[in-house]
Amino acid sequence: MRAEATSHLTDLIYGSLFGECDWQAFLDAVARTSPDGKAALHYHDLTSPVAHVPFISGFSEAEVADFSMHYAAVNPWIPRMNMVPVGQGLCGDEIFARRDLVRSEFYNDWLKRQARCETSVGVSIIREETRSFILSTATSCADPEENRAAAERYTLLSPHLKRAFDFIRRRDLVAPKAQGARGLFDSIGAGLLYICERRRLRWSNEAADLMLASGYPIRTGSDGKILIRSDAAAAALQALLVRGGGYALPQTFFMRNDVDQQSFRLTVVRLQSSRFTEFLEGPTVAVIVEPALATIKDRQRSLLEDAKLTAAEVKVALSIASGNTPRQTATAFQIGYETVRTHLRNVYSKLGVNSQVALATLLLGT
């Protein structure tokens, strides 16, 4: 697995989200990472025999039509998707034994004969009830080690895809489509800033404007430059704004306001632009600023009160529900990792759940 390939793909995810490129560019790049790769962003509902494959690269329309209307229903990988860990990249042989695959109708009549491929590598990005949202690439490569390396790349891409998908879906539900991708951040209270060379603000949404006005965790200096109240995040921003510096994986930082104890998660990512645009305008970096704790409804808040969670346990529960890992939670609130684990075990016991996914579903469900 080449780090530069993963970095480029991650950049394309955020570029697609922010409108700097489109999802086709991302999918085409994914396909090129595997021998004779044919990539797809698709979702499957186990209650329906028809697959939905809206985004493809390399597949013909006839191949997709045959797959959607018939071969998805006999695809031996699909029934096992609910047993595959969300966010973990896997190759087909890890889901269904190859010795059985090569005897199947799916392999002989579609995968091998039509698509001219041997297996597939992919990842479940989101799973809800009976549906799984999947990124996968069919490939002519049957080498287990090479496909395992490709699967590791999908594991690295998965959290960024999930974040992009979550923002897009929240936009479609909450904000008018005419507002575009940027307006969706306002709908969930997240600040979004586009910062150009010399740390000048190119654009910001309303949530970011409020943060700038408050002076935390971002502010505007007397010279008009955007300042971040985190040395590490400020250094990362400066490095990404260097012309010719290339692209890197998005970087996430946590910071806490000592005055009101509010914690924030800040992500910086350099946007993908055409060489000509960057030549004229220089690099653009997106800065995403989100509260580290999820906002929950009154009904879910009463659950926490009824379960008699301590203040520390509530903070850990909300952080995990926000998508933070236990280690990120420890960093965000400047407490020990083992302390977070202890609080989390108590939360599980008091709320009657046994996983981070179950906790998030309980607290963020409708």
Return the pLDDT at 76. 93
pLDDT at 241 over 70: yes
Mean pLDDT of 260-289: 78
pLDDT at 210 over 50: yes
Return the pLDDT at 20. 80
More confident of the two residues 45 and 340: 340
Mean pLDDT of 20-48: 88
Question: How high is the mean pLDDT of the chain?
Answer: 84
**Most confident of the ranges 45-49, 123-127, 242-246, 261-265:** 123-127
Percent of residues, the chain, with pLDDT higher than 70: 86
Return the pLDDT at 232. 93
CA triplet 32, 157, 356: central angle to 5 degrees?
Answer: 155
- Read off the pLDDT of residues 69-81 as tens digits, 9 standing for 90 and up: 899 889 999 888 7
Q: Which of 43-57, 271-285, 316-330 is the least confident region?
A: 271-285
Cβ–Cβ < 8 Å for 112, 118: yes
- Read off the pLDDT of residues 136-154 as tens digits, 9 standing for 90 and up: 999 999 999 999 999 999 9
Please list, in sequence order, all residues whose beta carbon lies within 8 angstroms of the beta carbon of residue 300, skipping any fewer than 6 positions away. 362, 363, 364, 365
**Per-residue pLDDT band at 56 (split at 50, 70, 90):** very high
Give 209: exposed, middle or buried? Use CB within 10 Å, 0-12, 13-18, 19+: middle
- Read off the pLDDT of residues 122-133 as tens digits, 9 standing for 90 and up: 999 888 777 788
| CA-based R_g, the chain, Å | 22
pLDDT at 57 over 60: yes
- Read off the pLDDT of residues 295-353 as tens digits, 9 standing for 90 and up: 666 667 778 888 888 888 988 888 887 777 888 888 878 889 999 999 999 999 999 99
Mean pLDDT of 45-71: 85
> Could you give the CA distance from residue 252 to residue 163 in angstroms, rounded to a whole number?
13
Nearest to 170 by CA among 364, 359, 357: 364
Q: Largest Cα–Cα distance in the chain?
A: 70
Return the pLDDT at 280. 60
**Per-residue pLDDT band at 218 (split at 50, 70, 90):** very high
pLDDT at 2 over 60: no
pLDDT at 243 over 50: yes
Return the pLDDT at 180. 46
Return the pLDDT at 366. 47
The residue with tokens 């430059």 is 225
Return the pLDDT at 38. 97
Mean pLDDT of 185-208: 84
**Per-residue pLDDT band at 359 (split at 50, 70, 90):** confident
Q: What are phi and psi of 53, to 5 degrees?
A: -125, 80
Give 102: exposed, middle or buried? Use CB within 10 Å, 0-12, 13-18, 19+: middle
- Read off the pLDDT of residues 155-196 as tens digits, 9 standing for 90 and up: 999 999 988 887 765 554 433 333 444 555 665 678 889 998
Return the pLDDT at 225. 95
CA atoms within 13 A on the CB side of 184: 18
Residue 217: asked if its preceding bond is cis (omega within 30°), the reply is yes
| pTM listed for this prediction | 0.54
- For CA atoms 220, 225, 229, 233, give the dihedral sign: positive
